[in-house]
Each structure stands twice: as structure tokens, then as C-alpha cells.
Structure 1
């Protein structure tokens, strides 16, 4: 049964989560839903770096504040509204920006953004499945064009997107070289990484140039993003001809990060090779959140090719603390907020 009112975390102005988030406890539960939408009782929500970066950077008139935040969730259908779902179906999915609005006890979501939760995942695990797996799968398939048996370099292997990329590559029989700090070496080797590089030991470019791979990598997935433009500028030395570098980081939020990104974009998209440009393709993810792609994510999870890694779980009352953990940039996997029990 639904309740007449519900609670949700809302951003009321532009700024950091600690200053702008408020828990509203008297929101009216919608009785009439838009066509093609369903009402979900939310079990858990995974936080994403874009959540706090958009809070910091977007003016309120663009973000339509005050607004409920959050982009992905797991939960149960309580109003199927004539869609293919049934009341009681356990689902997961995303309501990515600019819609948003998942960090609440109830959420109105397009049915096309949801799939039945894989039976081998808990509600907490499924909450963090959609966005990172969509990003990794589509980037590998559509941007880097990775094929079974090739060699892939993943920068930022311990972040959520990096973890998903590693798992998908290993399920394809690829060799994977990945980076992280030394404390995450055993974790990444446990995911099946064939070779580990500690980015704190020396600049990655120095390590890659000192030990040029043979054969060269068939794709470089920079899941960390914005860490060092030199990784792209020197990639001809370690990327095979015809392969590509993919920047998969989230939007910048500092002057230094913007400067690094703009330089990458200039070198990757604007400067031709005959004017000193890099002789390898530079690409960024082009994501599709439609039903077919959500179902691909579900299939990957159900067959065990991808298993979400959870860094930590916070209660609904502790959302600000959850953002604090996420903003350290040292979470190994997803930071999840548990909102209600998985009946």
C-alpha cells in the first residue's frame, strides 16, 4: 500500500550537498501518473558524482530547484499505470538528469528506464547497477569497439565505472591492465585484472613509456578522467593503430579540471595530426538509456558478467554523510542509500 504523503531529499539551491540538501517530509504521493510512467516504492538509491557536481555548478533556474535529487534506484512497482509491469514487480533502473528524483520514498519513473531486477542481486546491489554498467558496456562496444580476446587498459580501475568495465572485458576473454592505488591492488586482481599499475608509484605515462606493451592496447578506457592530459597526448606509444582513447570521467568542477579537459578536447577533436595532433582517436561516451539497453545491463548481471561492488550503505536519514563519503573520491564501488526494506 502507498501512503498519502512521502519524504524526499531535495536540493533547494545551488551549492554543496551539506548546505543545500533538505529532507522534505510532507510531499503528496501522486495519484495520476503521466502516460508510460510507473510509481515505484524505492528500496535503495546509489549516488553518483554527477549528483553533487550538478548541485554545485547548475544554476537553480536550469535545475528547476527545489527538486528531488538522485538518478538511479531499485524498488517495487506500486502503480503500473497500464505499462508492461505489474504491481509487485521488483525493478531497477535510472531516471537520469534532467529528470532525476529517485532519492525519495516514492518515485515516478518512465517504464522505459526500468527492468526487472535480476534474481541474483539484492536491492542494494541493483541500485548501483544501471548507470555505471550502461556507461561501461556502451563505451566498450560502441566507442572503443572492443572485441573478445583483445587487450584493454582501464585507468581508474577501482571506481564504479572502471569496475564494471573490467568485469565486462574479462567476460569477453580480454586481457585487462588496470590502474589504482596500491591499497586496491588485491581487489583488482580479484576481479581478474591481468596486470596492475600503481598510479601513485610514478606518473602513468612514465610507466607506460618505460614498458611499452606488446601487443599495444586495443583501447584505453579512462574511467578516472581529468587526471593527466599526458595520458592521451602520448598514447600513440601504447595504443595500437586504429584504436581509441575514451575519456569516461564525470563533469569537471574545478578550474584545473576544466583546463585539463579543454586541452584534451582541443587535442582530440580539433588539432589534425599534420599540425602535431595525436594520431589516435579521442572519444567520449554516447549513452542510450532506453529499454533495450537497460535489458542488456540486466542480462549481464543475471549471467554474472557484472556484479555491483558496494563500498558503503547509509540510512535515509544520513544522506549528507553518504555524499561526504562519495566526495572523498576514495569509494571503492558504489555508495548506496537504503530507503526501505526489500519486501
Structure 2
């Protein structure tokens, strides 16, 4: 067995091309209680991670640290947990500062579940994403913004598995894909401004909004009183602009809308942002949906673990045109 491993480390504020460095570390031989050693097979990139890398200073992110969060791999040392050596698993690191873009990772066993047998590592790597409960029930209607993103595609399928009516938005070229995955109504956000399209709808208001794009334009939240039903929840997947100036301006608008009283122009539905990984129970629920075919992981593209591959993967992610997850494969899938 090897005694060292390589990992991509975020070393400073900047885009991946300037921040990431490939470093070598000793493979841990003593693990904390409740943790396992995983040989990583695939890592799914998350837009939130590169935007934090580019937009926030070192003190706010704990750099240097290994990049990324979502992975699939094989248990090497189960360390007395419920897992066994050789188990195929997927999951997510508990903190952004304990990254996944590496050949080996030490993770809490609560952050991992067994990989469904009907998917490969490159497909399972992106399953450990934050899909937060909108508190919606069967028969209700949910709106998913950014339906063709990695998070959005999963959200469409999960909402349908719960018996919801799903309205999703993406560019027109992704209409057929979203409809094939169960979306009941498609909205092309490139046709006219999205807020205008939603405000002019004659259908009942949405019982929940899941913004898989995140805080890139606050208009969807600031105007949601026109299309979100009373008591409905507005959940953001946690995306941010990649510059501090843009982030500050948009955060100010959202915070003002969140805390100002409604009679002074505040927004009744509070802005809920999620960046945390799924817990064990949620991971098991996603695993069950994938295992029975109710949720199909969608992979946009797969890149290699070397510098050329990693940089190309981030370049693809930063186009904002990836349909599904952008994945980096470590060696060959098993």
C-alpha cells in the first residue's frame, strides 16, 4: 500500500488556476474515533467551493485546505465503524476546510453511506449535495430555478418522487431533458426576464421555491411575494457571486428584504440559504431513491486528476452551462 497521497489544496484567494496547488501528504495510519479512511475514486465539483475560493480571504475560509466536498470511493480502514474494508461509499465532507479533491480522505462515518449498486463512482460522487426539505407535500407545486444544474436536476427528481408538481427553469436547449426527468412545466429563462414570467403566471402560486442557482441575482427572492404562496419556503442552494463587491451588494439587498418589516417593504418569506452537507438520514434517503431508479444522477463531463484535467473541469464549471455534475475521476472507477 502507498504511504503518501496527492491532494489539490486551495492556498490563497483566487480562481482555481491561481489558488490550487497539488501537494503530497502521508496517508493517515491513526484515525479519530468514528472516522474512516476512504480511497477516493471521483469528486463532484461544487460552484459554491470555487466561488468561496475566488471571493473570500484566507482568514474567512481556513486556507490552506484541500478543496471540494462531494465524493465517492472505497473504504480502506473502517476503524471500528459500521463499514467494512472494501465498501463502496459516497458522501460529503463535514466542512469545506476538510476537502475531497484528493486521493485519500478521512471522513466521519456519519458523512458516508453505501453506494447504490446501480451507479458508478462518477455518478455517485455528486449525490452528497444539500437538498433541503421545502416542507412540501404530495400534490403541491414547487418551482426549481436552475433546473439543469447538478443540484437542480436532482431536486427535480426528488420533488417528483414526493408526488409534487414541478415547474423548472433552464435555457431552451435543456427543455427536453427536464421534461424527461419529470418536470411538469418548463420555463425558458432566456426568453424574457424570469421574474416577469413568474409574476404573470395565472396558475396557483408555488408552495415552495428551490433556487439551485443561488445568490447570483436577488431579484427572484425580492419579488417572490408575487408567486410564492403564503407560508411557502424560499430555499437557496448557496451559490454566491465570485467577487467580494458583487457578493456584498447582493447580500445587502437580501438582508434588507429579510429583516425589514413587511409594512416597510420587507419580504414575508425568509431567505433560507443552505451550504451544509446532508446528514446520514438524508444520505440514506437519497441512496434509496437512486437504488430504486427514482433519481438518476446526471453527469455533464468527467476529467482527470492531473493539473490539465482539474483546471479544465473548473473551466467547464465556471461557464455556468454544465448540464449535471462536473466530475474529476481519480484513477479508474471500480
TM-score, normalising length: structure 1: 0.90
SS in 1 for 2:326: strand
The answer for the alignment partner of 2:318 in structure 1 is: 327
- 2:211 equivalent to 1:222: yes
In the alignment, the residues of structure 1 paired with residue 234 and residue 61 of structure 2 have an alpha-carbon distance, to the nearest angstrom, of 31
Which shifted more, 55-64 or 310-319? Answer: 55-64
Residue 128 (structure 1) shift: 0.8
Offset of 1:159 from its aligned partner?
Answer: 1.1
- Would you say 1:310 and 2:309 are equivalent positions? no
Change (3 A) 1:248 1:8: closer
Q: Report the counterpart of residue 190 of structure 1 in structure 2.
A: 180
State the Cα distance separating 1:303 from its structure 2 match: 2.1
Residues 177-216 of structure 1: pairs in structure 2 closer than 5 A: 177-213=167-203, 215-216=204-205
Contact map agreement 1:21 1:320 (CA 8 A) in 2: no
Report what 2:15 is aligned to: 16
Determine if the alignment matches structure 1 residue 256 to structure 2 residue 246.
Answer: yes
Q: Deviations over 1:94-151 (max 9, x none)?
A: 11434422211111111111111111111110111111xxx22xx2x2xx31101111
**Which structure 2 residues correspond to residues 115-134 of structure 1 after superposition, within 5 A?**
115-131=113-129
Q: 1:29 to 1:285 in 2, by over 3 A?
A: closer
Q: For 1:67-146, what aligned pairs fall within 5 Å after superposition? A: 67-131=65-129, 135-136=130-131, 139=132, 141=133, 144-146=134-136
Q: Is the 8 A contact 1:219 1:245 kept in 2?
A: yes
- Which structure 2 residues correspond to residues 291-306 of structure 1 after superposition, within 5 A? 291-306=280-295
* Alignment of structure 1 residues 274-293 onto 2, 5 Å: 274-285=263-274, 287=276, 289-293=278-282
Question: Deviation at 1:62?
Answer: 4.7
Partner of 2:141: 151
Bigger Cα displacement from structure 2, 230-239 vs 81-90: 230-239
Question: Which stretches in structure 1 are left out of the alignment for 5+ residues?
Answer: none
- CA 1:237–1:70: 2 relative to 1, 3 Å: closer
Runs of 4+ in structure 1 deviating by more than 4 angstroms, as ranges, are: none
- Equivalent residue number for residue 33 of structure 2: 35
Match of 2:45 in 1: 47
Give the length in aligned residue pairs: 331
SS for the counterpart of 1:19 is helix
Deviations along 1:176-230, whole A, 9 cap, x unmatched? Answer: 11111111111111111111111111111211223332x2211122222334433
Unaligned runs of 5+ in 2: none
SS in 1 for 2:302: strand
Query: Structure 1: how far apart are the matches of 2:223 and 2:117?
Result: 44
1:303/1:265 Cα in 2 relative to 1: closer, same or farther (>3 Å)? farther
Q: CA RMSD in A?
A: 1.9
The separation in 2 between residues aligned to 1:277 and 1:80, in whole angstroms, is 50
Cα gap change, 1:258 to 1:61, in 2 (>3 Å):
closer
Residue 257 of structure 1 deviates from its aligned partner by: 4.2
